Chains A and B, each alone.
Chain A
Amino acid sequence: MTQTQESNETFRVAVFADFTCPYSYLAVDQIDRLAREYDVKPLWRPHWLHPDTPPEGVPRENNADTAARDERRHAWFKEMAPEQYPRIRFPTKRQYSFHAFEALEFACDYGLDFAFKTAVYDLMWTEGRDIGEIETLMAAAERVGLDPVELQIALVERTYAERALDAVKQAHRIGIMNTPTIFLGRTRINGWHYYEVLQSVMEKQGVRPREALAS
């Protein structure tokens, strides 16, 4: 094992994000790619954007202002994420994310949290499902090989509620203000950024892609 490989093992990558944030959804592909291209194990942690949202969600207003805002937002995503944009389905309501945070803790206990978060984002942002509903989280569990019924029981009994809340509080304690906030080793990146930025930060800290390590 090379020295760089050893250092990669301890190179920490953590993302604080809310499933309901579209910019965090864009970061999913990037962080998944980072995990494929570098010898790192990213950690996905919750940052609760709208704790005031009730479990049933909050319908979005429909008026001239929101229509204009939507047009601008679509233009932004079309330019900034041309590959993802055609499959994004913007939700018609602001969804409740805390159950998904609880489910993330459940998945963490089985070492499947990284795959689980991708399944949750996909269900919400490309399949138009409501992640405030337990059935959606069960579907995500099934996709990554977790027992959906066991997750259902854990969610109904609120087994992971305290842990999820502690995780949310941890994000507050360390001053997370943006979703996503990405930690790459010593560097903190507030908000979504281009993949080339992540690559450049890795390079600056001496972390080389797997391909370069293999050659």
Chain B
Amino acid sequence: MQQSYIVDSANAPWKRSATEGITFACQVLLSGEDGGPEALRFRFDDCPSVYAHMHLTCQFQLLLKGAMDFPRGVKHLESLAIHYTDHNMPYGPFAVSGSHDMLVLHPRAGGIISMANLDARRKINLSGRLFAALAADAQWQPLPGVDNAAYIHLMPPGYGPAAVVTRTPAHAALSMPAAEFGRYEVVLEGSVIVGGQEIGPPGFRYVRGDQAAEPLVTGDNGASVAFLTFDRDALEGGITGEGLSVEAAEAMARAI
């Protein structure tokens, strides 16, 4: 089954909200209510400690603006940066600052559960992966087959989930292989034309299926695009209707 969702973030409404005393603005870009992907955009107000939590699906966080600081482990992230976690992999507490803006991208509805919840601690995925990287630390390389284009790996090739950012001139076709477990294709700069519409940053397409999707075509000013591809962990976890997942779904619903 081929899935494809195209989202123009510029036209999605913003809402002010709070969770556990942490204040932010958010956009619900894809709700996941149809069993498909869940995509949210958050702008946290500066905060020294966003509480430790986990989601019940794997997740890409794409930091578009500002900074996130993790006192333990990951340390300091500045945009553009990626933070990936497998399902049920806790992270935080972390600090946010500098006009924070990020996309939170799940293959399905993932809920949110505070690690203050003792039951949640017993459901932690001990073999789960957590990976973070800054684009500024990666080395740009020429993109084969496209003149004046370049790409970086934000995650090491072969890691499992993949994160690649491309920078391409106008009217270039960006073909990617099929995404069996799902892939977000996020416009970071410029614009792309897909499905008959032109989307700018941080709009995106989500594709999933065993067939390669229609190529993205860059707009008149070229584009920078992040391709964030899930692996098999995208099949794990999620909102199943049992105890903890009900709580996680309710907590996310309250938050957004």
Which residues of A does B touch, CB under 8 Å?
A: 23, 69, 71-73, 75-76, 78-80, 187, 189, 191-194, 196-197, 199-201
Report which of B95, B121, B126 forms a contact with A72, defined as CB distance below 8 A. B95
Given contacts A76-B71, A80-B93, contact A71 B48 (CB under 8 A): yes
Asked if A80 and B118 sit within 8 Å, CB to CB, the answer is: no
Query: 1/0 contact trace for B171-193 toward A, CB 8 Å?
Result: 00000000000000000000000
Let me know if B150 is at the binding interface, CB within 8 A.
no
Q: Report 18 cross-chain contacts, Cβ distance below 8 Å, ordered by A residue.
A: A69-B69, A72-B95, A75-B71, A76-B49, A78-B49, A79-B49, A79-B51, A79-B52, A80-B93, A187-B126, A189-B126, A192-B72, A193-B126, A196-B118, A196-B121, A197-B126, A200-B121, A201-B126
Query: 1/0 contact trace for B60-82 toward A, CB 8 Å?
Result: 00000000010111000000000
Minimal beta-carbon separation of A75 from chain B (angstroms)? 4
Minimal beta-carbon separation of A113 from chain B (angstroms)? 27
Other than the known A80-B93, A199-B122, what 8 A-B pairs have Cβ atoms closer than 8 Å?
A: A72-B69, A75-B71, A79-B51, A187-B126, A194-B115, A196-B121, A200-B124, A201-B126
Given contacts A69-B71, A72-B95, A79-B93, contact A200 B48 (CB under 8 A): no
Q: Which residues of B sit under 8 angstroms from A201, Cβ to Cβ?
A: 126
Asked if B48 and A72 sit within 8 Å, CB to CB, the answer is: yes
Minimal beta-carbon separation of B19 from chain A (angstroms)? 14
Asked if B49 and A197 sit within 8 Å, CB to CB, the answer is: no
Q: Which residues of B sit under 8 angstroms from A189, Cβ to Cβ?
A: 126
Q: Which residues of A sit under 8 angstroms from B93, Cβ to Cβ?
A: 75-76, 79-80
Minimal beta-carbon separation of B22 from chain A (angstroms)? 12
Question: Lowest 4 A-B CB distances belong to which pairs?
Answer: A75-B49, A196-B121, A76-B71, A194-B121
Interface centre among A23, A75, A197 (most CB of B within 10 A): A75
Asked if B121 and A197 sit within 8 Å, CB to CB, the answer is: yes
Instruction: Output the nearest chain B residue to A22 by Cβ-Cβ distance.
Output: B72
| Complex CA–CA separation, A78 to B49 (angstroms) | 10
Asked if B95 and A193 sit within 8 Å, CB to CB, the answer is: no
Minimal beta-carbon separation of A29 from chain B (angstroms)? 16
Q: Which residues of A sit under 8 angstroms from B115, Cβ to Cβ?
A: 194
| Complex CA–CA separation, A21 to B95 (angstroms) | 21
| Complex CA–CA separation, A78 to B52 (angstroms) | 12
Chain B residues numbered 4-29 whose CB sits less than 8 Å from any CB in chain A: none
Asked if B122 and A75 sit within 8 Å, CB to CB, the answer is: no
Asked if B95 and A75 sit within 8 Å, CB to CB, the answer is: yes
Asked if A193 and B124 sit within 8 Å, CB to CB, the answer is: yes
Q: Which residues of B sit under 8 angstroms from A200, Cβ to Cβ?
A: 121-122, 124
Asked if B72 and A23 sit within 8 Å, CB to CB, the answer is: yes
Given contacts A71-B48, A197-B121, contact A76 B72 (CB under 8 A): yes
| Complex CA–CA separation, A3 to B121 (angstroms) | 28
Query: 1/0 contact trace for B202-235 toward A, CB 8 Å?
Result: 0000000000000000000000000000000000
Instruction: Output the nearest chain B residue to A71 by Cβ-Cβ distance.
Output: B48
Minimal beta-carbon separation of A82 from chain B (angstroms)? 10
Report which of B48, B118, B126 forms a contact with A75, defined as CB distance below 8 A. B48
Q: Which residues of B sit under 8 angstroms from A191, Cβ to Cβ?
A: 72-73
| Complex CA–CA separation, A111 to B108 (angstroms) | 53
Instruction: Output the nearest chain A residue to B69 by Cβ-Cβ distance.
Output: A72
Instruction: Output the nearest chain A residue to B76 by Cβ-Cβ distance.
Output: A69
| Complex CA–CA separation, A112 to B38 (angstroms) | 54
| Complex CA–CA separation, A80 to B49 (angstroms) | 11
| Complex CA–CA separation, A194 to B88 (angstroms) | 14
Given contacts A75-B93, A76-B93, contact A197 B122 (CB under 8 A): yes
Minimal beta-carbon separation of A16 from chain B (angstroms)? 17
Interface centre among B52, B71, B93 (most CB of A within 10 A): B71
Q: Which residues of A sit under 8 angstroms from B69, Cβ to Cβ?
A: 69, 72
| Complex CA–CA separation, A197 to B126 (angstroms) | 8
Query: 1/0 contact trace for B89-117 toward A, CB 8 Å?
Result: 00001010000000000000000000100
Chain B residues numbered 117-137 whose CB sits less than 8 Å from any CB in chain A: 118, 121-122, 124, 126
| Complex CA–CA separation, A80 to B70 (angstroms) | 13
Minimal beta-carbon separation of B174 from chain A (angstroms)? 37
Report which of A72, A194, A196 forms a contact with B71, defined as CB distance below 8 A. A72
Q: Which residues of A sit under 8 angstroms from B73, Cβ to Cβ?
A: 191
Instruction: Output the nearest chain B residue to A73 by Cβ-Cβ distance.
Output: B71
